[in-house]
């Protein structure tokens, strides 16, 4: 970790392991150790170790906190007191004592930053009558969500979505229902039960998960993401031939078969948007474009499907912040 400290954080980061330890035990004159840098940076460091062939057996790295017994007496009790849930989680699920052994860890999906395009005031989407808020909506977070923003997202914009959805419902009558379309979709959802054989939906889901983790993960390149788009097309063809045995009631295999369409759609959208944004910003890090591009700070990347079902990409200019709001922010410091 000491070999890869971003320039932005060098003045805030310890020079030695000893200084890092002093920070951990409360020395106000010491700076934090590099393993306590932002989680996106730590995640990238883990991925680089794995890609360089130095990863753990399951594709992660080992995190060792048991070493503090070299520094303090009663280290095991100290760890249990500071990290009770982590201690019990590893003990119960993996039969591993983190006060004695290193734990195997790896980065995982934390939050989707982006989503359905909505109006900032009403949370209305471009689909008439559809309102969205929270993680599924393209909200205020941009490329990097701050801790705790998920809750404020729901409280502020969830309230707006609910209020304006209610107004819309009062001002508009019920929509018309195309019964033929309903029947066609209902029939399609049951097809996995009617085949005599086919693809296991869990296998397709796992293949998609592994491919996205490897090719469109935390550290990205255009070459790998183009490869992922080719793989997604293959998985789309496979997902059209899923087979689910058993009863329709409480059948998780059927649920997975139905989920595949949405999983593939979101995966394709993420890959295409990441290819279009030729820079690194927040959660988007590209080895082939490691720096921020100021021009991309002025646009959002928007995707929608055309009449033939193909995804179309557009750059949508971000409007200037109103002068009144700028003044309020400046006054708040």
* Cβ proximity of 305 and 289 under 8 Å: no
Q: Which residues pair with 32 in a beta bridge?
A: 13
Distance of CA 47 to CAs 59, 102, 222, 254, 289, Å? 9, 18, 17, 33, 17
> In 10 A of CB 221, how many CB atoms?
15
Catalytic: 39?
yes
Query: Cα separation of 262 and 232, whole Å?
Result: 12
Rounded to 5°, the CA angle 42-46-49 comes to 140
Rounded to 5°, the CA angle 54-60-64 comes to 90
Query: Residues 39, 145, 160, 272: which is the catalytic one?
Result: 39
Rounded to 5°, the CA angle 62-83-20 comes to 65
Q: Which two tokens stand for residue 122?
A: 């009403």
Active site residue ranges: 39
């Amino acid at each position: 970790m000491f070999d890869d400290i971003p320039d932005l954080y060098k003045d805030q980061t310890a020079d030695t392991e000893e200084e890092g330890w002093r920070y951990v035990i409360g020395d106000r004159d010491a700076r934090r150790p590099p393993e306590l840098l932002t989680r996106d940076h730590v995640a990238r460091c883990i991925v680089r170790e794995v890609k360089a062939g130095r990863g753990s057996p399951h594709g992660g790295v080992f995190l060792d906190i048991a070493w503090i017994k070299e520094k303090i007496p009663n280290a095991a009790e100290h760890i249990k007191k500071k990290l009770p849930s982590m201690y019990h989680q590893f003990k119960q699920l993996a039969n591993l004592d983190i006060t004695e052994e290193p734990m195997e860890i790896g980065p995982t999906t934390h939050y989707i930053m982006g989503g359905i395009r909505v109006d900032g005031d009403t949370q209305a989407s471009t689909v008439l009558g559809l309102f969205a808020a929270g993680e599924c909506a393209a909200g205020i977070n941009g490329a990097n969500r701050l801790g705790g923003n998920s809750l404020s997202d729901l409280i502020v914009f969830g309230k707006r979505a609910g209020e304006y959805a209610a107004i819309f419902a009062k001002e508009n009558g019920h929509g018309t229902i195309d019964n033929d379309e309903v029947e066609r979709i209902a029939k399609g959802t049951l097809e996995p039960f009617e085949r005599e054989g086919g693809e296991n939906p869990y296998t397709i889901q796992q293949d998609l998960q592994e491919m996205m983790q490897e090719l469109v993960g935390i550290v990205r390149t255009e070459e790998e993401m183009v490869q992922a788009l080719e793989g997604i097309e293959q998985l789309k063809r496979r997902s059209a031939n899923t087979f689910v045995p058993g009863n329709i009631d409480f059948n998780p295999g059927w649920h997975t078969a139905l989920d595949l369409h949405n999983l593939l759609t979101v995966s394709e959208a993420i890959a295409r948007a990441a290819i279009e944004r030729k820079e690194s910003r927040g959660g988007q890090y590209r080895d082939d474009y490691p720096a921020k591009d100021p021009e991309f700070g002025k646009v959002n990347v928007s995707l929608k499907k055309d009449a033939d079902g193909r995804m179309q990409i557009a750059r949508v200019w971000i409007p200037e912040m109103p002068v009144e709001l700028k003044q309020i922010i400046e006054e708040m410091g």
